[in-house]
Amino acid sequence: MGSFAPDQLGWGVYFDDGTEVTSTQHRIHSDGGTDLMGAKTPGYTYHFRVLIDEAGMSAGTLTTPNFEYNKNSAGWNVITTSSSVVKAVSTSNIVDGNNTTQRLGSGTFITTNAWQSDDGSLPSLTFVASEECEAICSIQLVKGDVADGDTVELRLSGLTSYGEACSITVSENDIISDDFSSGTLEAHWTEVDPIADCDPVSFEGASPDQWITFTIPSGSTHDTDTSTFEALHIIQTIGDVDFEVQTKFETVMDSTQWKSFGIVFLTTATVTYGQLVAFYNGTNVELHFDYDGTTQKSVELTGIPSAPFWLRLNRTGDTWASYYSLNGTDFIKVVSDWPGPSLTIEKIGLMAGNWNATPSSAPEHIAKMDYFWDNLTPMFVEDPAAGGPARRIMIIS
Among 117, 141, 170, residue at a domain's last position: 170
189 three-class SS: coil
Domain assignment of residue 97, given as a range: 6-170
Note the pLDDT of residue 66: 93
Q: 33-42, 148-157, 212-221 — which is least confidently predicted?
A: 33-42
Q: What is the CATH number of the domain that holds 82?
A: 2.60.40.10
Q: Does the residue 178 lie in any domain?
A: no
Q: Please give the distance of CA 151 from its chain centroid, rounded to a whole number.
A: 20
What is the three-state SS of 325-373? ECCCCCEEECCCCEECCCCCEEEEEEEEEECCCCHHHCCCEEEEEEEEE
Give the β-pairing of 190-192 and 232-237: antiparallel
pTM above the 0.85 mark?
A: no
Burial of 294: CB neighbours in 10 Å, binned 0-12, 13-18, 19+? exposed
Q: What is the CATH number of the domain that holds 277?
A: 2.60.120.200
Residues 44 and 79 in one domain: yes
Residues 264 and 343 in one domain: yes
Rounded Cα–Cα distance for residues 158 and 25 (Å): 27
Q: Mean pLDDT across the stretch 339-358?
A: 87
167 three-class SS: strand
Q: Does the residue 300 lie in any domain?
A: yes
Calculate the alpha carbon distances from 257 to 43, 197, 282, 383 in Å: 42, 20, 5, 33
Number of domains in the chain: 2
Q: Does the residue 234 lie in any domain?
A: yes
Residues 196 and 330 in one domain: yes
Note the pLDDT of residue 114: 61
Asked if residue 276 lies in contact with residue 287, where contact means CB atoms within 8 angstroms, the answer is yes
Q: Does the residue 22 lie in any domain?
A: yes
Residues 194-205 pLDDT 10s = 999 999 999 988
Residues forming beta bridges with residue 263, ordered by sequence position: 276, 350
Q: How many helices (H) and strands (E) does the chain have?
A: 0, 30
Residues 77 and 223 in one domain: no
Residues forming beta bridges with residue 261, ordered by sequence position: 278, 352
Residues 156 and 204 in one domain: no
Q: Does the residue 1 lie in any domain?
A: no
Residues 233-262 pLDDT 10s = 999 988 788 888 999 998 877 777 788 888
Residues 154 and 228 in one domain: no
**What is the percent of the chain where pLDDT is above 70?**
75
